[in-house]
Structure 1
Amino acid sequence: MRIPFPLSAVLLFAAALFLAACGKPAPETVTLQGETMGTTYTVKYLSDGQSKLPAPADMKSQLDGLLQEVNRQMSTYAPASEISRFNKMRDTKRALPVSADFAFVTAEALRLNKLTGGALDVTVGPLVNLWGFGPNKEVTREPTAEQIQAAAQAVGTDKIILKQSGNKATLAKTHSETYLDLSSIAKGFGVDKLAQHLEQAGVRNYLVEIGGELRGKGRNAAGQAWRIGIEQPNLVQGSGTQIIVPLDGKALATSGDYRNFHTDKNGNRLSHIIDPATRRPIGHKLASISVIADTAATADGLSTALFVLGEDKALQLAERQNLAVFLIIRDGDGYRTAQSAAFKKLTH
């Protein structure tokens, strides 16, 4: 669903160790892996000796089913998905019934749109496709000003109408060409769905990862909070220093343009992330931004929005909203870092 995230976060899944306190063997660490949303997922959890937990194979089947359902609803790459049916719909007087999860993710995207002053805009799909970063990868030249202006007529969260009543929800559009793309938040939501299922099954200690978006709770087999390492610039340039983030009841997401970008005829780097304000790929010096939040969906959406804003505006918003963020900024031939006060509190 979402293009692969930039490799600015390195997973440090801890191996099972022996507990030193009383000589008891470490709890069993169950590891499940698979493919979803154009990337891979890894789930690690402690069995804690619970006999009522599903067998690992059954648990994996259940998790795969949840991810398939997320794709069935929100994948723009699946022609029969709910979101694809909405995008193909041209009748602006018709409201399409949508699943509760689809409505929830759309509502969260709209909330984050307001929080970030429009930086997260899940209707930029026509512009994403126009610049060659959507399902159609055959774009070989920069679009013209006329093409950009035409595509922008269908862009804007004011052009989608979400109505919710109890367990029922509908989605409508005010412009026939409005195109919804939840890839900036749906992968994080997938992480949350798996985490919620593990908790409902009785798992107390787990770490879930989909394509670099993570959510953890409890402790690993060594009795420590799950620890994730975020690359610092000197690691990018060959060293091994990292910022270590403990994830206990928190989620972490990273956005950047290390890998998914185009280069125009003048050699300029064109990021896969479109700035709704300029209608062009972002072109600032922010290389990546990592966000810690209570849910992976929120962290996922915020990381995209703050990356769009760039270093200065992202940090200003982070301080106003008490957001935990870590930034890597291009600086000449090297890099430098910055972090919000909330991030420092979590990692120090």
Structure 2
Amino acid sequence: MPLFCYPFVQESFSMKTKNTVKPRLFAVLLISVLLTLISGCQPVPNEVHLTGPTMGTTYNIKYWSETEQIPEDIQAKVDAELVHINKLMSTYDPGSELSVFNQSKNTEPYSLSDETMLVMNEAINIAKMSNGYLDITVGPLVNLWGFGPQAKPEVIPSDAEIVAIRAKVGFDKLTLSGNTVTRSHPEMYVDLSTVAKGYGVDRVAEIVESFGINNYLVEIGGEMRVAGEKLNGQQWRIAIEKPVTMERAVQEIISVGNNAIATSGDYRNYYEEEGVRYSHLIDPKTGKPIQHNLVSVTVVHPSCLIADGFSTAIAVMGKEAGLEMALQNNLSVLLITRENGEFKEYTTPGFESFLINKG
């Protein structure tokens, strides 16, 4: 424990008294002073920043605590948990639990871990609430359009190819029971990437809290969860990016209290072919990239997993359907559309309290 007054204490013990008349009185006074100083020596809080690679991106943790913590212990536990999540749910790791399930072509009940089943159940719940616009079985369509582990297609998929793939897509073709999942088509492919980062943020936040830390910011690839306040006593402020491709700019600044925040949009991950823009967000109803003017969705929720899932669902749904669903489910949401060459914002009542002046 770093005692900022320790050098003074050491020096005090080495001092020689010139008072030979009352040495005992001097010693008593000296000990009394030293005890007072030592009792007042407390660790000085400082903000700690931990970072590392995960899920094809990076994680960042900022925290401070009035009790001393060993950052290396926290980071070791965080790193181990994130490696564990990847070994369960990554579609880029052919040896992950989810990849092995996808490769099995099994239509019998298949056992999965508690963690994978938890994430899958939450995703299915969001799928039901969003009328299927969040679909964890849409992976084959994502791959067909070149946004998954496979490379960009040499030619744009034909309608016949899309129809053939859609036959094995649909969250309603999955049956979850206890720790097992059953699929109705042997080539169904489950992709949890729309919610896995959010789940990772929640797990890291839980680890940080397990060390008795109540003031923190956890971020993975832009998805965040915050609690408490900054060391200077101010609330954590989060910038929502302006949905433009060629620059980094701020659209809004928000303060969300003890909550998570997730943003989805199509302005970064896309490609163009013969003047047509193809987004990585695939509409499971059509099997094609979205074509509407909703370009960014931000959701605030206590759970980053749920915020992550709803932000993706609404981004696929479009403004009208997305806003209606958000209002029906009392979600705190900011939607940004591109209308007549300009950005326009739409918010639900729950989100408005989070907005603060950018200045």
Structures share fold, TM-score greater than 0.5: yes
Aligned amino acid, residue 38 of structure 1? G
Partner residue in 2 for 1:41: 59
Moved more, 248-257 or 337-346: 337-346
Aligned amino acid, residue 114 of structure 2? A
Deviation at 1:126, TM superposition (A): 0.8
Deviation at 1:37, TM superposition (A): 0.4
Indicate which of 327, 340, 343 corresponds to 2:348.
Answer: 340
Secondary structure of the residue that 2:156 maps to in structure 1?
A: coil
**Residue 219 of structure 2 is aligned to residue 219 of structure 1:** no
More helix by share: 2
Partner residue in 1 for 2:144: 130
Paired residues for 1:21-170 under 5 Å: 27-48=45-66, 50-51=67-68, 53=69, 55-93=70-108, 95-164=109-178, 169-170=179-180
Q: Structure 2 length normalisation: TM-score?
A: 0.84
Whether contact under 8 Å (2:245, 2:267) holds in the other structure is: no
Instruction: Give the fraction of aligned pairs with identical amino acids, expressed as a percent.
Output: 43
Looking at structure 2, the residues matched to 160 and 327 of structure 1 have their Cα atoms a distance apart, in angstroms, of 30
Unaligned runs of 5+ in 2: 1-41
Deviation at 1:241, TM superposition (A): 5.8
Aligned amino acid, residue 119 of structure 2? V
The C-alpha deviation readout for 1:228-273, integer Å capped at 9, x for no partner, is 011347x9898966422213220000000111002122x1211101
Secondary structure of the residue that 2:77 maps to in structure 1?
A: helix
Looking at structure 1, the residues matched to 190 and 337 of structure 2 have their Cα atoms a distance apart, in angstroms, of 30
Partner residue in 1 for 2:182: 172
- Count of matched residue pairs: 315
Report the aligned-residue RMSD. 2.0
**Residue 192 of structure 2 is aligned to residue 182 of structure 1:** yes
After the TM superposition, list the runs of 4 or more consecutive aligned residues in structure 1 that deviate by more than 6 angstroms: 235-240
Looking at structure 2, the residues matched to 197 and 241 of structure 1 have their Cα atoms a distance apart, in angstroms, of 30
Indicate which of 273, 277, 292 corresponds to 1:284.
Answer: 292
Whether contact under 8 Å (1:325, 1:340) holds in the other structure is: yes
Looking at structure 1, the residues matched to 248 and 175 of structure 2 have their Cα atoms a distance apart, in angstroms, of 49
Indicate which of 267, 270, 277 corresponds to 1:258.
Answer: 267
Aligned amino acid, residue 115 of structure 2? D
Unaligned runs of 5+ in 1: 1-23
Whether contact under 8 Å (1:215, 1:247) holds in the other structure is: no
Secondary structure of the residue that 1:123 maps to in structure 2?
A: coil
Secondary structure of the residue that 1:77 maps to in structure 2?
A: coil
Bigger radius of gyration = 2
The C-alpha deviation readout for 1:40-69, integer Å capped at 9, x for no partner, is 110011132x13x3x111211110100001
